[in-house]
Amino acid sequence: MLQIQDLVVTAENKEILKGVNLNIGNGEFHVIMGPNGSGKSTLALTIAGYPKYNIRGGKIIFNGSEITNLPPNERVKKGILIAFQHPEEVEGVRIIEFLQQVLHELKGIDLAEVYDLIVKKAEELWFKEEDLHRYVNVGFSGGERKRLELLQAVLIEPKLLILDEPDSGVDVDSLSVISRKIEELHQKGTSTLLITHYGRILQHLDPSSFQVHVMKNGKIVMSRSGEFVKEIEEKGFQKIFEEVGI
Ligand code: ADP
Ligand code: MG
Instruction: Kindly report the protein residue whose alpha carbon is nearest to atom 16 of ligand 1.
Output: 37
Q: Reply yes or no on domain 2-89+137-243 having CATH 3.90.180.10.
A: no
Question: With 90 as the cut, is the pLDDT of residue 206 above it?
Answer: no
**pLDDT tier, 59 (very low <50, low <70, confident <90, very high otherwise):** very high
Q: Which atom of ligand 1 is nearest to the CA of 195?
A: 2
Cα-to-centroid distance, 36 and ligand 2 (Å):
7
pLDDT at residue number 52: 93
Dihedral sign computed on CA atoms, order 87, 92, 93, 97 = positive
Question: With 90 as the cut, is the pLDDT of residue 200 above it?
Answer: no
**pLDDT tier, 198 (very low <50, low <70, confident <90, very high otherwise):** confident
- % of the chain exceeding 90 in pLDDT: 88
**pLDDT tier, 112 (very low <50, low <70, confident <90, very high otherwise):** confident
Mean pLDDT to the nearest integer, 179-192: 96
Q: Measuring CA to CA, how many Å separate 128 from each of 3, 36, 140, 206? A: 39, 35, 14, 32
pLDDT at residue number 199: 82
3-state secondary structure of 151: helix
Mean pLDDT to the nearest integer, 200-215: 90
